[in-house]
Amino acid sequence: MSHLQQSFAVRFTYNVFFTEKLFKSTNPLLADFFTQQSSELRKKILFVIDSGVADAHPDLLTDIKAYFAQLTDRVELVPELIVIPGGEISKNDPALVEQLVDAVDRHGVDRHSYIVAVGGGSVLDMVGYAAAISHRGIRHIRIPTTVLSQNDSGVGVKNSVNYRGKKNFLGTFVPPVAVFNDRDFLITLDDRDWRAGISEAIKVALIKDSLFFEWIERNAEALAARDMETMDYLIHRCAEMHLEHIAGGDPFEMGSSRPLDFGHWSAHKLEQLTNFELRHGEAVAIGIAMDCLYSQQLGWLTDADTNRVLKTLRTLGFSLYQPMLDADESKGVLKGLAEFREHLGGQLTIMLLQGIGKGVEVHEIDAAKVRWSIATLKEQEPTAESQLV
């Protein structure tokens, strides 16, 4: 008996650009990117676009074609721009993944070509997955169009689709080759999607950076009023913190620790229980509230700090109670704990707070304390009446 030991490291490098009017001929960013991808060969580029974005930006497809018409020396745009349904639905339908794989085949998109996804986190997750498995991985460019995808999902290394209703059951860890955050897309978001992504910034601030939380607290009203400069800073700082977290830790999540999943164990279950009626970011806002109240019961978060978090979330316009929280326990939110552990694997590991800006992991969750948090949120929820006042 003998053995050989294998050990190697693979380096991944990519830029996240912040820009506006990405596809106007006056914006050189994309053109420069392809120029710098030195190569003797013209690369193909396959675009996949979120229908919600295409609808809200009727000139988008024309703009993309015009932009690439100027770059024919460097890259070859696949003339068929593929538009797929936006939102979680895109992750639920295996036929969409197949449609993309077929397009890769039909258009001869090889591993040194590019698949570009333009859309919200759902479409990016799905297209990223199709790109990752085709030819063992085609270069993938993300153009996130929601707050959530610009500050969190779009800058990270994960992709996935749902399988038989199980959230993110299939997926891979594969970084993009570039991310282009164009602020102009955000203008057409509806209020729910504008707001939803802010909860991921609150999440990362609460576990890592009290100054950033204080900034969000001070600017909650401006954010709720859709002030664009304020949003610019929020997205930039939040994206930066996500990037640093990924690079500094365990990028492909081989261990059990997943600090960025603060507030997420109940959120994932709530999304499913509401049939994805609740947006991911809306569910995360509730999950954050729950885990703050849980931390308060442990004596880890002061009453004052707990209230600051709840108040900030409410100022932003989040509802912090959802009737499904009270669903029969056999299928309710507490069942999400087991599913969360199973999906992540290893020991149950839940992030809580020992103060604002200081996340701490625990490996046990007490059902009674969860129930108390739910009851508190229910009690505090403004009734329809008082909301009218």
Ligand X SMILES: NC(=O)c1ccc[n+]([C@@H]2O[C@H](COP(=O)([O-])OP(=O)(O)OC[C@H]3O[C@@H](n4cnc5c(N)ncnc54)[C@H](O)[C@@H]3O)[C@@H](O)[C@H]2O)c1
- Interface residues with ligand X (CB under 6 A)? 50-53, 56, 86-88, 91, 119-123, 125, 145-146, 148-149, 152-153, 156, 158-159, 185, 188-189, 193, 196-197, 279-281
- The least distance separating a copy of itself from the CB of residue 18, rounded to whole angstroms, comes to 5
Of a copy of itself, ligand X, none, which one does residue 17 interact with (CB within 5 to 8 Å by kind)?
a copy of itself
110 binds, among ligand X, a copy of itself, none (CB under 5 to 8 A by kind): a copy of itself
Cβ 283 vs Cβ 339: under 8 Å = no
- Nearer to ligand X among residue 129 and residue 300 (C-beta): 129
Minimum distance, C-beta of residue 51 to a copy of itself, in the bound complex (Å): 25
CB of 340 to a copy of itself, least distance (A): 10
Nearer to a copy of itself, 178 or 377 (CB): 178
Q: Rounded distance, CA 139 to CA 280, Å?
A: 27
**Smallest separation (angstroms) from ligand X to the CB of 15:** 18
Other beta carbons within 10 Å of 184: 15
**Minimum separation from the CB atom of position 329 to ligand X (A):** 24
Helix (H) or strand (E) holding 304: helix 303-316
Cβ closest to ligand X, residue 74 vs residue 287: 287
Residue 74 or 258: the one with the smaller Cβ distance to ligand X is: 258
The rounded Cα 92 to chain-centroid distance in angstroms is 16
- What is the distance of C-alpha 28 from the center of its chain? 27
Residues 6+ apart with CB under 8 A from 241: 204, 205, 208, 209, 212
In angstroms, give the least distance from the CB of 314 to ligand X: 20
**Closer residue to a copy of itself in complex, CB, 276/340:** 340
Copy the structure tokens of residue 345. Answer: 């694997």
Q: Which is nearer to ligand X, 62 or 302 (CB)?
A: 62
Nearer to ligand X, 172 or 297 (CB): 172
Alpha-carbon distance of 173 to 245, in angstroms, equals 15
Decide which of ligand X, a copy of itself, none touches 119; Cβ closer than 5 to 8 Å per partner kind: ligand X
Q: Whole-number minimum distance, CB 363 to ligand X, in Å?
A: 23
Question: Closest approach of Cβ 69 to a copy of itself, in Å?
Answer: 23
Gap between the Cα atoms of 68 and 23, Å rounded: 9
350-353 vs 359-362, strand pairing mode: antiparallel
Pair of tokens at residue 240: 């930066």
Interatomic CA distance for residues 244 and 267, integer angstroms: 24
CB 71 within 8 A of CB 142: no
Cα separation, 366 vs 253, whole angstroms: 26
Interaction site with a copy of itself (CB under 8 A): 1-20, 29, 39-41, 101, 105, 108, 110-113, 132-138, 155, 158, 160, 163-164, 166, 168-175, 236, 239-240, 243, 246-247, 251-253, 256, 341-347
Cα 95 from chain centroid (whole Å): 23
**Residue 129 Cβ, how far from a copy of itself at the closest point, in Å?**
8
Give which of ligand X, a copy of itself, none residue 145 binds (C-beta under 5 to 8 Å, depending on kind).
Answer: ligand X
At 82 the three-state DSSP class reads strand
Which of ligand X, a copy of itself, none binds 121 (CB below 5-8 Å, type-dependent)? ligand X
From the list ligand X, a copy of itself, none, partner contacted by residue 125 (C-beta under 5 to 8 A by kind): ligand X
Neighbours of 228 (CB within 10 A): 12
105 makes contact, choosing from ligand X, a copy of itself, none, with CB < 5 to 8 Å by partner type, with a copy of itself
| Chosen from ligand X, a copy of itself, none, partner binding at 120 (C-beta under 5 to 8 Å by type) | ligand X
Which C-beta is closer to ligand X: that of 74 or that of 269?
269
Eight-state DSSP code of residue 178: E
Nearer to a copy of itself, 135 or 371 (CB): 135
How far are the Cα atoms of 171, 174, 190, 236, 349 from residue 187, in angstroms, in the given order? 30, 29, 8, 17, 37
**Residue 240: CB partners within 8 Å, gap ≥ 6?**
none
